[in-house]
Amino acid sequence: MASNASEQDAAPVRPRIGITTYLEPTIWGVWEREASLLPRVYLDAVHAAGGVPLLLPPVGTDPTVLDLLDGLIIAGGCDVDPTSYDAQPHPETTDTRPGRDDHEAILIKAALDRDLPLLAICRGLQMLNVTLGGTLEQHLPDVVAHDEHRPSPAVFGQTEVKVEPESLTGRLFGEQTTVHCYHHQALGIVAPDLRVTARAGDGTVEAAEVNGHDFALGVQWHPEENPEDLRLFTALVAEGKKRRASR
């Protein structure tokens, strides 16, 4: 027993990575209730990258929970409520969750205040931009005249993106990469504190970083959908390890 305890004490502590979740009507077994949800692919990606995933439901939001974490992921999901950036809803803007928007805006601001490593995914990048004062294109096909970013329901598109070499995104992906995408909204006016670091061929912003932070990155694509490429999650966990070691 003593040997097992010493082995556990010697084992490296995995960084704790918080991930925002959805509140959705859900059915399991005999139950039909609202539940906090997150696709398992996020959990698997964080675990495979060496982290411990911790779920952050949009209930009882308390930014001090970030003091327990080594990194934060703002997950993808439904459309951002256009009232949060003073816009009227487009007919294609549906299924918004203002409560989740408020929850994630609080966590984003708190993470940046703490310089907590931050990865914002798809809707997460949109929330990052809106939280910092930017706007969204509510229906991207109106702008780019195609639907390749979201080919059809539950079908991911393949998008080739060009990356700024002198950036965190560039260090991770080089000057060009192909990604899994599924979105009909995108960044419109880019917030002053954001630097665009990748674009699709049609000009759509595909990645942006927060100025003045070592690791505060948002991507419009879905890295969790490609288990063969964990570069973003591995980089986030590595930053989390540095943060944990410096405490």
For the annotated catalytic residues, the residue numbers are 122, 222, 224
In angstroms, the CA 100 to CA 23 distance is: 8
The alpha carbon of residue 137 and the mean position of all alpha carbons in its chain are separated, in whole angstroms, by 18
Residues in the chain: 247
CA 188/CA 199 separation, integer angstroms: 13
